[in-house]
Amino acid sequence: MSALSGSYGWVEAIKSVNYGPGSVATALPELIQLLGVKKALLVTGRSLSTKTDVVKKVEDILKAHGSYAGTFTDFGEHTPVAGINACIEQYQETGADFIVALGGGSPIDGAKAVRFRIHEQTGAPLPPQIAIPTTLSAAEYTIGAGYTDEDGEKVAVSHQLLAPAGVILDAELTLPTPSRLWLSTGIRALDHSVENLYRPLIPHPVKILCYAAMADLFKYLPISKADPTNVEVRQKLLVATWMSIWPTYLEEYSALGPSHSLGHRLGAKYSIPHGITSCLTLAPVVKIQARTASKEDKEYLANALFYLRESSTGSIEGDILKLSALISGLIEKLGLTSSLSEYKVPKEDFQRLAEDEDDLVEVLNSIY
């Protein structure tokens, strides 16, 4: 189906996206009132809890509002299932009736998985969630969640009401985020915006938002690297991330495209951070699209050069190859270039990781 025909619907679960530096102080109490909830389990990560004052700031807001039930900090990278089980236990013991997820993709996706499992186990409606991201990974806009099972394999769950009911984009809370994590998750957001150009069922207006996201990510990520304390630039990047994966109603959750699907497999199996998997896979996957994508998808990819204020090469395929090179150049400029060999990914695993798709094997060989 063409992107110029179809239908559009906002993700049903999301009631409000609140944004602006310092907005958490007013937005969090407003969302609690809007959702009619009482006691929050604050879900976050160990580093954010032990190395910054960000968690305490949110705890203090919840306590001042009489809405604090406790804090869970035991979500590791890629959201191991043991953390999900422990979080469910604490949620039920504290009498919480909603979750505030603070941090990157792991606590935000982890909270979604917790809510899904509670719904499965009890048959009760999904508990509400408020997401406060401190990275650019954009887990807060989707109806799916991924976690890692006991065998190190990625498990995906989805539900139309699984997206957080409220999202707060407060750049001030992102200031302690380590530079490599912040910038690499920015490439993850770029991965969203690019792969949405050839993802099935994404309507044309959303693709135009993706172009705007790409332009801002290319512009502001290098500025943020040069001046990590620039709150205005960080806020612009949070909004660009929102545009990169604009909440769109889809019948079922799926990986955006081959860069994401490869990234999920690499991340879960070899403990490669999600942002870094996008740094590895996005440019070579785009390069493959110059040869394999449909005519319409090629046109969408080639048109990205206009929004990036780059001149055309004179051919659609050449423009896609130029886009791939620009992505590689941005990753290099941000100091995020790496390889699969650095993460000790064995070449003999490539066929399995690529699920026997020759094009994806080619991608893996190119980044070894």
Give the pLDDT confidence of 166-225 residue by residue, as tens digits: 999 999 999 999 999 999 999 999 999 999 999 988 999 999 999 999 999 999 999 999
Residue 79 belongs to a domain: yes
**Within a domain: residue 73?**
yes
- At position 199, the amino acid (one-letter code) is R
Last residue of a domain, one of 174, 205, 227: 174
**Residue 227 CA, distance from chain mean position:** 23
Point out the domain boundary residue: 128, 153, 174: 174
Place of tokens 């955006």: 256
Q: What is the pLDDT of residue 138?
A: 94
Which is it for strands 166-169 and 16-19: parallel, antiparallel or unpaired?
Answer: parallel
Q: Quote the domain boundaries for residue 138.
A: 16-174
Burial label, 223 (beta-carbon count in 10 A; 0-12, 13-18, 19+) = middle
Percent composition of the chain: helix, strand, coil (DSSP 3-state, to 5): 55, 10, 35
Q: Count Cα atoms within 13 angstroms, Cβ side, for 220.
A: 24
210, 335: one domain? yes
Is the same domain home to 170 and 185? no
CB 100 within 8 A of CB 140: no
Query: Does 270 share its domain with 286?
Result: yes
Domain annotation covers residue 209: yes
Question: Is 9 part of any domain?
Answer: no
CA atoms of 116 and 144, how far apart (whole Å): 10
pLDDT at 254: 63
Q: Which of 240, 226, 229, 252 is nearest to 162 (CA)?
A: 252
Last residue of a domain, which of 147, 174, 201? Answer: 174
The verdict on residue 5 lying in a domain is no
User: Are residue 166 and residue 57 in the same domain, yes or no?
Assistant: yes
Residue numbers in the chain where pLDDT is lower than 70? 1, 78, 251-255
- Same domain for 234 and 125: no
CA angle 192/193/196 to nearest 5° reads 80
Residue 264 lies in a domain: yes
- Is the CB of residue 138 less than 8 Å from the CB of residue 108? no
For strands 144-148 and 154-158, give the pairing.
antiparallel
Q: Does residue 187 share a domain with residue 149?
A: no
Residue pair 77/271 in contact (Cβ under 8 Å)? The answer is yes
Q: Could you tell me if residue 299 is inside a domain?
A: yes
Are residues 183 and 154 part of one domain? Answer: no
317 and 333 both lie in a single domain: yes
- Which pair of structure tokens corresponds to residue 117? 């499992």
CATH number, domain with residue 69: 3.40.50.1970
The enclosing domain of 254 has a CATH number of 1.20.1090.10
Cα–Cα distance for residue pair 187/164, rounded to 1 Å: 23
Q: Are residues 304 and 353 in the same domain?
A: yes
Contact 68, 39 (CB under 8 A): yes
- Alpha-carbon distance 267 to 275, whole Å? 9
7 within a domain of the structure (yes/no): no
With 0-12 CB in 10 A as exposed, 13-18 as middle and 19+ as buried, what is 173?
buried
Do 168 and 202 belong together in one domain?
A: no
185 plus 286 within the same structural domain: yes
Phi and psi at residue 120, in whole multiples of 5°? -65, -45
Total domain count, the chain:
2
- Both structure tokens of 133: 């991201």
pLDDT digits (tens, 9 = 90+) for 251-286: 666 668 999 999 989 988 898 998 999 999 999 999
Identify the pLDDT of residue 80: 80
Number of CB atoms found within 10 A of residue 144's CB: 20
Q: How far is CA 23 from the centre of its chain?
A: 21
Contact 325, 316 (CB under 8 A): no
End-to-end CA gap in the chain: 35
Tokens 């896979």 found at: 281
Residues 218 and 104 in one domain: no
Using DSSP's 3-state secondary structure scheme, residue 80 falls into: strand
Residue ranges with strand state E in the chain? 16-19, 40-43, 68-72, 98-103, 129-133, 144-148, 154-158, 166-169
